[in-house]
Structure 1
Amino acid sequence: MAAALLGLLLAPAAVPSAATPRLPAGPGTAPTVTAVASGGTAALTGYAIRSAAQVPDTAAAVSTPGYATTGWHRAGPRSTVLAALVADGTHPDPFYSTDQQRIPRRDFADPWWYRSDFTLPETAERTSLDFSGVISAADVYVNGRQVASAAEVAGMYTRHELDITDLVRAGTNTVAFRIRPNDPRKHLTLGWLDWLQPPPDANMGIVRDVLVRRRGPVSLHDAHVVTGLDVSSPGSGPAELTVKARVRNDSQEAATATVTAAVGGTGIVLSEDVTLRARETRTLVFTPDRHRQLRLQRPALWWPAGMGPQNLYGLHLTATVAGSRSDSVRHAFGIRDVKAPLDSAGARRYTINGRPLLIRGAGWSADELLRWDTTAAEDRIKAALDAGLNTLRLEGHIEPDEFFDLADRYGMLLLPGWECCDKWEGQVNPTGTGEKWNAADRLTARASMAAEAARLRDHPSVLSFLIGSDFAPDAQTERDYLDALRAADWPTPVVPAASAVTTALSGPSGMRMTGPYDWVPPSYWYDKREGGATGFNSETSAGPSIPTLDTLRRTLSPAELETLWESPSAPQYHRSPSRTFNTLKLFNDALAHRYGAPRGLRDYVAKAQLGQYENVRAQFEAYARNATDSTDPSTGLVYWMFNSGWTSLHWQLVDRYLDQGGAYYGAKKANEPLHIQYSYDDRTVAVINRRPDAVSGLTARITLFGTDGTSLHDRTVRGLRVGGDGARTTAATVPAVVAASGGPDSTYLARLTLTDSAGREVSRNVYWLSTRPDVLDYDAGDWYHTPTTTYGDLTGLNSLAAATVTATARTTRHAGSQSTTTVTIRNTSSGNTPALLTDLHLVDGRDAPVLPVRWNDNQISLWPGESAVLTAHHRTADPADGALRVRVSGWNTPTTHITPSTP
């Protein structure tokens, strides 16, 4: 069945856009009144907020319609306190320099009021408030009456449905939340660990929609689809669907409801009458044993990106009473099968729809102020896919529904789970900061698990749930989590922790969390020990990630920019609040030893991009090569991290503004669908094929060069064949290069090219290598890095002759706001000097990057006479920003600008 047909899903209930608006309004501006139609559902469109310390009136007064909010601030429908105060200009942008330190924490020591109005028509329908996302807890009032206490509404992830039928009236109504301050050490909410400098308000607020629901006497709850797929013939087996929902009679009288279930894209329509006593709830199940239509012989499966289409179906349930609609629910679901058994080495190995899957993942971060922007999230997911990732891990910070909808649509797999170290692991983590749990905490944790399981189970993008992170939950908590997941018909593997643990109920995690988290050399990833490429490593990277110079100048003050490269041991506010990670010493020392001491900021940034490119590339390539190892294979890695929640120097493949540097393009190169790569340990050259089908007739060419352009080795291997789904074949072994005594320096270059049977280049990969290896002292290693005692010598790159690159470009506008810029670049240098790591940036009239942008390739290296055609997809530039240009630069290429032609 065509994906386009399956995409015609029944639309979800009418809820306003969830993107947090960029609000220009200042103090004294009231939020828009939310109108709720008869039989409808609407999200509150915003709030008036103010510190309770500045509100002398009673809760009854504050929550009464007509209460004056002069002097209050305006907040969006999902907003922390600080997000609202930054939006209205009360506090400075916390993302620049140390401006966040100017925001006084005492402003958030007291509760804050969140107040909103909504209107109802004259009708006798049942009315309820449905919400989650309160940080950290709230007393809730409607029209002057308390409907819930902070003891009941506690925890970010717990879901609450409050019946307010007897309190509301036709016309204007008021709901008010008195939000308690947050402390992630004391509350089951979220914290920022060592990721970034935590916000002064600790994210107190309401960060998910508050829905006002209007329904008839019988309501529908917990609707979902349980899918079963036969994977004996991978990708083509039949499937069975089971549709479930709880039907509840909210009236004081017996009622009979007709419940109709329709599955969009299949023509399936089922119906059943349910008779309920007053206030009775019953689970209704449509099974394939009773309804043969629920057996699909040729289901349209959901696949991760690159493995197949992202087919989705739609579920629509309606309850009617006496011929009138009483309630309805609708959402999308996908059919796919996920398994993750332990392999012979004890590592968790995922398959999807019966096909093998190497997890190429990275850690996802929410915005530091938890501001939700659907477009921004979509841009980041597209960037992750463009970098060749197939999975994002959410350690806590579990995003709103739209995030999971986007992942379903684009084919990005997700690994959500609870976070480490703070309250979430306070009962088991002897080194963490979280408090031990009490009985109320255990209830909150179980309710959180039940709510998130029900919310996420029908999303085919969700690969697993990690009920622990650095530590597994204790036995009682694990049992509570598993009971909640089982009750929700959770469909995918449950992992007891992201670290290497074994629990009585879940068994071995099949994962490990050995890091590293700070700088190590590229060869590290090939050592089959510590963080090397074996098994499933849930958190691992070489730590710092210096952004582009454009982003650095938007992030740091001039003085901080100088400290960045001049003072390796200086604390860096934009790295981490952790004393372990608050400097760049390990990274900067390695750059200076391997590439030579920086001569200035620009030189430092250029060397950082080279270092990050080679390191990230090596990490992903090592895991790809070892995925088919017969004795100790790699099964997955989660690069720590994909993005940061603010402007950072730390743990990111892309920066806050989605600019792309060496780390990003190193990942993109390593994760090409068809890829040729070099191995740092045994000098073999391998071809990796991530496409579903095998490829034959390939030709690999391996050429080694000295930095003066001298050819040191040249070999061509023809007739290569490589299987699909991550298979590899070894093409050749590169001979060892030894620096001659008193001769050339110890730096040399390796150029690998792969052409198909028609002679087209399908993969190009260039390495800068040293005859002197990096030497690691594993015995002196710790949990976050392994010391390097001898560094490789790449200083020969400083002697590369200047290269000349010419370019032409053309920009084509498409329908809507999208454009494509195509650039043809050529190395026109004389001699045999490559243009190393040539970078293209689209910039506006002020030379500021045009972002986001997705290049088919970038930061490429070309030898004289070689050319490449690079294509960028981007939003159409705003004429007010000046003419679009392409900035061409590189390691040994002077910066030039060209103006694209247009049709």
Structure 2
Amino acid sequence: MSALRVRVALSLAVLLTLSLAPASVAAQADVVTTLSEAESGDTAISGWQIQSSAQLASAGEEISQPRYDGSRWYRAGPRSTVLAGLVQNGRYPNLFHGTNLRDNVNRADFQVPWWYRTEFHVRDRSPNTVLKIPGVISRGEVFLNGTRLGDVVGVYNAREFDISALVKPGRNALAIKVAPADPKKDFAISWIDWAQPAPDNNMGLFRDVEIARGGAVSLAGSYVHTKLALPGLESAEVKAFAEVRNNTNAPQTVLLQGEVASRRISQPVRLNAGETRTVAFAPETLRNPRVWWPYQYGEQPLYRLDLTARVNGRASDHTETKFGIRDVVSNLNAKGDRQFIVNGKQIQIRGGGWASDLLLRTQPERVDAQLRYTRDMGLNAIRLEGKLETPEFYELADRYGIMLLPGWECCDKWEPWTGWGGDEWKPEDYPIAAGSLNAQARLLRNHPSVIAFLIGSDISPPENVQRMYLAEFDKVGWANPVVPAASLNGGPQPPLGSSGSKMEGPYDWVPPNYWYGNQLGAAFGFGGELSAGHSIPALDTVKGMLNATEQEQLWREPATPQFHTGRGNEPFNNLYLFSNALAQRYGTPTSLPDYVDKAQLANYEQVRAQFEANARRMNAERPATGFIYWMLNNAWPSLNWHLYSYDLNPAGAYFGAKKANEPVHIQYSYDDRSVVVAGQSPKKADRLTATAEVYTIDGKLAHSQTKSGISVSLPGVAEVFTLPEVPNLSATYFVRLKLTDAHGKDVSRNTYWLSSKPDVPDWANSDWYYTPVSQFADLKGLAALPKASVDVRARSFGDRTTVTIRNTSTSIIPAAQLTLRKADGSQLLPVTWSDNYVALWPGESVTVQASHQPTRRPTVEVNGINVAPQRLTAAE
């Protein structure tokens, strides 16, 4: 951002330390700042004051006057929905625990408009002062210094107001009257069936409002197109573009100067009065460019475009942006399935569906931790359905090499053509949708992490809507693929044709061998969203999110609706399918801890199987080109659809994904007992040795086989061997796999708990959200395993803890869980482990490492379905 542009926003550090009390008269000075000459640089205003219109008799013309008495208003951050502001002020404490969100919030608070107000001080006039509002949920009336400027309609429909004539030296006041939101009727944000909706429907502002002050000519935006020489990547063509605006009523000659990728560029431009034009610079050729790759495939270097607009030799405006050099193609393969090719390499998408915070709060450290979790699990992509994040999110994705698939959401105003979504669009709605697309494409166009935009979710838009959106993409110089939808619903509508992306479920429990089938959501083609549904968090998290009654119902009454599932509607408002399968397969739970322990094993095997099946079939006759695990995370504490819980506690699902997505991974196939090695990185692996062992539940070795000289071209799959049908196995048994390199060093280890009575999916009776089974696997032998004892040694230094755990018993441990705790007993989170939920045979030991925030001597806890809990304090 230019030094001439001033953000009406708090710094994120200040945002986190705002007072929780309503603003006093004395505190009003805290929301006033100074916008001075260009040399003063950027200045941040300390947020907003908010108040319900039900508490006010004043109109906007009065509220937007400087020195208006806001002593009874609440203070809120620069990005704050109404409810987030009230939570910040202590109005609604502990909102995410139990049923507080339902029982302790007065919904009448949000049936009336709310006012946002702030003041700023200007030392001097500027001939070009622009107010930029990135969108309002659901709509806002904007007032400045007693004058009504106009309306902003829609969460993503950015609008600019020229306020040059209204801004005066001294105090100025800005006020926005925000209307209540209804996702069925407004271009707002909906939580669909992901979570209980925020009681205010997220009404308010969740992105920065900005004031830009410039000279006679301003730079409204800039972007870069890159073209790689494929396949060798020995050169790249880099072409810069600048959107230049003449802010005067007379013609202007402007000299555009700057650098793109450290290459000097310059171009004079003659603009008519009031004209805005996109200027293209001559392309620059870079030899041996530093190429941006998804993180498993290489580095993530970023280049800079830096531009200054000069009029009569003086700087009139300046802009800078970062970009990456990479090439992305998305098309349909010979089977009609969506595929993505990055820098000439076809990459299997292994992604998760993103959920923003339910109150849309800006939490940069939390987002950073979640993207690091994404990498740690071996995922390479994130889909954002309608929850298009703030700029920091995209910057982090660029840095971490995580591919992004943003797009609009289903089942509300954004998809009125479904017949069951929001209100059918009226003529006035089309410009709002078009403006929203235009604004978001501008935000996203320079980010190398963004590899496509999905203009539909559950159904492809009709032809007129597609053409409207494509026209907006053209206006902003969009160079990435545009995908019709995440679903095949709606058919191959022109001009984009088929989405090539299936959305046939499942969304609820299915057995691990489901993913090895040949229909519906099984591992083939491209899956826009699918998973086995409910994910039970770790015990600490369950106790922290559910009240005592809910905890009892969770394990005793699985058919009872749980508030912390979907939004209260069937079929996702209870855990019957998951809990019934858990009891049938693992045995009836005897307590809440027993339920959670068994659930972790179930989540581990379900998630591992989904990722492994897709990995095995990446080069099949009908290849698995990618899928979006539904979901990566949750908007609030939840019992379904996540790989890690809201409090960032990784549990069974997380480590099932992490195990399956190892760079070089040995795995067992549920359909035909084959053992394969799957690779997810571009480095070749050879001279590998695979060993498979089959054990009965009491630890007797029933079969063993080994193969050496294995080589896998990565990414790819190498067939190793097929295990025979071993006779006389116990009902529950183990398959243990090990892959070593030429020096005997472990490359991958993997343990399966299986049944001689397998799950049998009943495909013929599948519903849109799950496939029932006609027979459940018998894994009850795990609950009957004798208790195992372990010896634990741990050493911690700063942000690293190393733990060695040894099985000192004669019993197999299928999954030993390691937890770190602070001195007060709470969990040390976020944390990444080199491995967890580890299998240990009698006498065996394993050493793992944990990375975390610097902490002195954390406590290490070990437990599991048959592990006697043990704690010790790490040595230094």
**How would you bin the TM-score normalised by the shorter chain?**
over 0.9
Could you tell me which residue of structure 2 aligns to residue 641 of structure 1? 631
Provide the residue aligned with 2:770 in structure 1. 785
Alpha-carbon separation, structure 2, partners of 1:12 and 1:730: 61
Q: In the aligned structure 2, how far is the partner of 1:899 from the partner of 1:567?
A: 38
1:261 alignment counterpart: 258
Residue matched to 1:291: none
- 2:399 is matched with which residue? 409
TM-score (norm 2): 0.97
> Is residue 474 of structure 2 the alignment partner of residue 483 of structure 1?
no
Separation of aligned partners in 2, 1:445 and 1:249: 27
Matched with 1:618 is 609
Partner of 1:297: 287
* 2:734 alignment partner in structure 1: 749
How far, CA to CA, are the matches of 1:589 and 1:698 in structure 2?
Answer: 41
Deviations 1:257-303 (A, max 9, x none): 2111312xx43111122222321223211022xxxxx1112111101
Q: Distance in 2 between matches of 1:241 and 1:133?
A: 32
Partner Cα distance (2:469, 2:819) in 1: 48
Conserved in 2, the CA contact under 8 Å of 1:41 and 1:212? no
Which residue in the other structure is 2:225 paired with? 226
Structure 1 position 10, deviation (Å): 11
- 3-state DSSP class of the match of 2:331? coil
- Residue 136 of structure 1 is aligned with which of 128, 138, 150? 138
Distance 2:706 2:436 in 1: 58
Paired residues in the alignment total 863
* 3-state SS of 1:306 partner: helix
**Which residues in structure 2 correspond to 1:274-673 (within 5 Å)?**
274-288=269-283, 294-426=284-416, 428-432=417-421, 434-500=422-488, 501-577=491-567, 578-629=569-620, 631-673=621-663
Q: Which residue of 1 aligns with 2:171?
A: 172
SS of 2:218's equivalent in the other structure is strand
Instruction: Give, in whole Å, the separation in 2 of the partners of 1:12 and 1:465.
Output: 32
Q: Is this contact kept in 2: 1:11–1:330, CA < 8 A?
A: no
Contact persistence 1:46–1:74 (CA under 8 A): yes
**In the aligned structure 2, how far is the partner of 1:690 from the partner of 1:11?**
44
Q: What is the Cα deviation at residue 595 of structure 1?
A: 0.3
Secondary structure class of the residue paired with 2:296: coil
* Pairing partner for 1:735 from 720, 724, 735: 724
Measure the CA separation in 2 of the matches of 1:226 and 1:612: 43
The amino acid of 1:429's aligned partner reads T
2:68 counterpart of 1:67: yes
Q: Deviations over 1:206-264 (max 9, x none)?
A: 1100011111111011311111112232xx2311111111211112333222111312x
Aligned CA-pair RMSD: 1.6
Q: Shift in Å at residue 455 of structure 1?
A: 1.1
Q: 1:148 to 1:458 in 2, by over 3 A?
A: same
Deviation at 1:477, TM superposition (A): 0.9
Task: Specify the code of the residue in structure 1 equivalent to 2:217.
Answer: V
1:77 aligns to 2:74 (yes or no) = no
CA contact under 8 A between 2:126 and 2:213: conserved in structure 1? no
Q: Secondary structure at the match of 1:603?
A: helix
Letter in 1 for 2:843: G
Residues of 1 paired with 2:94 and 2:88: CA distance? Answer: 9
Mapped contact 1:18–1:77 kept (Cα < 8 A): no
CA contact (8 A) 1:737 1:771 kept: no
1:4 matched to which residue of 2? none
CA distance, structure 2, for counterparts of residue 218 and residue 329 of structure 1: 12
Picking from 805, 827, 831, the partner of 1:825 is 805
> Which deviates more, 72-81 or 486-495?
486-495
Q: Distance in 2 between matches of 1:358 and 1:452?
A: 26
Unaligned runs of 5+ residues in structure 2 are none
Aligned counterpart for 2:107 among listed residues 90, 105, 108: 105
Amino acid aligned to 2:11: S
Q: Secondary structure at the match of 1:405?
A: helix
Q: Structure 2 residue aligned with 1:801, among 767, 786, 794?
A: 786
Task: Confirm or deny: 8 A CA contact 1:843 1:887 kept in the other structure.
Answer: yes
What is the match of residue 848 of structure 2?
Answer: 870
3-state DSSP class of the match of 2:815? strand
Q: Return the offset for 1:460.
A: 0.2
Q: Which moved more, 1:405-414 or 1:127-136?
A: 127-136
Partner in structure 2 of residue 89 of structure 1: 90
Aligned residue number for residue 51 of structure 1: 52
Q: 1: CA distance between counterparts of 2:486 and 2:756?
A: 37
- The equivalent residue for 1:21 is 16
- The residue identity in structure 1 corresponding to 2:226 is T
CA distance in 2, matches of 1:391, 1:124: 44
Gaps of 5+ in 1: 1-8, 289-293, 814-818
Report how far residue 94 of structure 1 moved: 2.0
Cα distance in 1 between the residues matched to 2:292 and 2:626: 21
Distance 1:802 1:655, change over 3 A: same
- The SS at the match of 2:667 is strand
Preserved contact between residue 10 and residue 331 of structure 1 (Cα < 8 Å): no
Give the counterpart of 1:126 among 125, 128, 141. 128
Residue in 2 that maps onto 1:810? 795
After superposition, the C-alpha distances for 1:726-753 in whole angstroms (9 at most, x for unaligned) are 2110111112234x4xxx6410001101
Stretch deviating more after TM superposition (92-101 or 11-20): 11-20
User: Deviation at 1:11?
Assistant: 10
The Cα of 1:701 is off from its aligned counterpart by: 0.6
Per-residue CA shift, 1:126-170, capped at 9, x if unaligned? 211112131111000011101113xxx101111111110000111
